[in-house]
Structure 1
């Protein structure tokens, strides 16, 4: 885990912890609301409408003196971003309804793997089997996807049961429960895929607090630092689901989550090594251009 040695490092660290906590809390609230009978699509409409109003008013104040030019090309990209973003929200809510927020947070760690695959397809990444970086990212992708299959298809024995099982106890037979869990896993994997496509599309171009805070942390630390906090969501989800929803923790979920996190860090290790090599190459080029003082 990241060690904060100065106050400058502490604020982004705290910011990312708040982002992850807000993300997990959102999933837990969604699950609780849907279990009470609130329609999952209505939740999306209300949350997106509120976010749109907040961001629209904020942008008018921030960019009132320098409003960007809105062209048809820009509007088309906004439309595609909206399609991918809303599709991800729908798949996320459906997946959580069928399964649990814990499975949802585990599946979030598939995003780097899907992003890597899409980047190769759209030629934003180069795959070289002789490179350790490509090997690490490829192996991490395979491990992450394998972990997703484990957490989806293998439930295993219950290793942690809530004191009050009222919220999570299902009124379905075992076969129906397992079928719902598997279906939820596929929906959550689809949500992770659409989120990755949304990120890829932004190289062309949640909710308000998460987006703003995450953007601030990105500007202070960079994408690698921000991505390292993704597995923390699993811990938050297990604790909050246990305390507030009465969720039980099964062995399969734990094993699958660990495998996904290992694959996640494999992909991130490759990205960090790649970024360092690029920085060293740029530093070498800049030093060669400096004239010698005689």
Structure 2
């Protein structure tokens, strides 16, 4: 069991390290003068080029034909979870910091819970401890976001280094001034990104049900995001010079975020979810915040402020409260099942829980039919 747990844990740590790297590369590319809309377009262009062949070869024998409904949902998924969410996120990061933007992503479980209630994917049992934990966690997350937005506080950076990859950049100084003047706007953009990303999770549930081919649906979403992001970037600015990539941080940021963050990382994350479930994968999210805070301080010369630290603590606390409530709810539902539960070993040697629903229903139908025959005979 220790070996079975070590692999998913190591994989999730790698996922969070790669996620932290995305935030650092985003900040470096934007401060280097790269247009954020072009950066998002290149990200999904690289992701589509990586995932499309992968989806073709893995799912070509069992993939069904596309329908208009699937195309429409894919377009909406590409808009909410791709082009729109990423453009808002980078815009907010540009006005604040990589650490700040990373902290706001921990709002996603709470926001998703609220949207799931609105769209009736979730039910709220206020009198149960699970429902109370989810409500409390959501409120804690909102309080943390408000604290991040409106309170800066004292500088509490635990160390100061002489390494600063953007210290000599004029864009860096302009960004610092913009961050001081537009901190609230940057906060709202980051929070709006979380809302659209949470909405994407709701839409993704519909897409997974209608088109249950993980690689193909993800590749299709990335293609939609590419078309949307390119159209948005060209509509905002048609200067060809903004699209030029050299052997610099712009190419690294585009390739890293596209191939690793939207390609390799997604495959690793899917494997972890399949092995240990979504709750296990979710509890590692705050690790990215810690990694980004350390890397930003060491490499970008960013400062950690009291308001950001306190807000992050509240958001992470709210995250774990929501996850605990969700886990408690699932445990309660399983314990209340009146049907027998048996365990079987799969091919990988892992133990799966199987509820004998079909057997019980078949037995019930047989008993009813036997009673009816007995009544007619009598």
Task: Give TM-score scaled by structure 2 length.
Answer: 0.72
Q: 2:149 aligns with which of 130, 149, 152?
A: 152
Query: Structure 1 CA distance, aligned partners of 2:136 and 2:19?
Result: 28
**Contact persistence 1:168–1:247 (CA under 8 A):** no
**Contact persistence 1:162–1:247 (CA under 8 A):** no
The aligned residue for residue 131 of structure 2 is 134
The aligned residue for residue 186 of structure 1 is 188
Bigger CA drift: 61-70 or 19-28? 61-70
Q: How far off its partner does 1:184 sit?
A: 1.2
SS at the partner of 2:66?
coil
**Contact persistence 1:21–1:233 (CA under 8 A):** yes
Report Cα offsets for 1:252-271 as digits up to 9, x if no partner.
Answer: 11111001111111111100
The aligned residue for residue 30 of structure 1 is 26
Query: Structure 2 CA distance, aligned partners of 1:181 and 1:241?
Result: 18
Bigger CA drift: 232-241 or 174-183? 174-183
Do structure 1's residue 195 and structure 2's residue 197 form an aligned pair? Answer: yes
Report Cα offsets for 1:101-149 as digits up to 9, x if no partner.
Answer: 1111110110011011000000111122212111110111001110011
Report Cα offsets for 1:133-175 as digits up to 9, x if no partner.
Answer: 1111011100111001111211111111532375379646998
**Contact persistence 1:165–1:246 (CA under 8 A):** yes
The aligned residue for residue 71 of structure 2 is 75
Provide the alpha-carbon RMSD of the alignment.
2.1
SS at the partner of 2:156?
strand
SS at the partner of 2:297?
helix
**Contact persistence 1:112–1:264 (CA under 8 A):** yes
Query: Structure 2 CA distance, aligned partners of 1:60 and 1:174?
Result: 45
Query: Structure 1 CA distance, aligned partners of 2:275 and 2:103?
Result: 26
Query: Structure 2 CA distance, aligned partners of 1:171 and 1:77?
Result: 41
Query: Structure 1 CA distance, aligned partners of 2:130 and 2:31?
Result: 44
Query: Structure 1 CA distance, aligned partners of 2:167 and 2:154?
Result: 16
Query: Structure 2 CA distance, aligned partners of 1:139 and 1:147?
Result: 12
SS at the partner of 1:285?
coil
The aligned residue for residue 211 of structure 1 is 266
The aligned residue for residue 88 of structure 1 is 85
Do structure 1's residue 124 and structure 2's residue 121 form an aligned pair? Answer: yes
Report Cα offsets for 1:214-246 as digits up to 9, x if no partner.
Answer: 111100100100000011111101111011111
Consecutive unaligned residues in structure 1, runs of 5 or more: none
SS at the partner of 2:65?
coil
Q: 2:296 aligns with which of 241, 245, 249?
A: 241
Do structure 1's residue 271 and structure 2's residue 326 form an aligned pair? Answer: yes
Q: How far off its partner does 1:177 sit?
A: 3.7
Query: Structure 1 CA distance, aligned partners of 2:89 and 2:287?
Result: 18
**Contact persistence 1:168–1:248 (CA under 8 A):** no
Change (3 A) 1:33 1:105: same
Do structure 1's residue 162 and structure 2's residue 160 form an aligned pair? Answer: yes
- 1:215-234 alignment, distance < 5 Å: 215-234=270-289
Change (3 A) 1:175 1:54: closer
Consecutive unaligned residues in structure 2, runs of 5 or more: 208-260, 342-355, 364-378
Task: Give TM-score scaled by structure 1 length.
Answer: 0.91
Bigger radius of gyration: 2
Q: How far off its partner does 1:285 sit?
A: 2.2
Do structure 1's residue 260 and structure 2's residue 315 form an aligned pair? Answer: yes
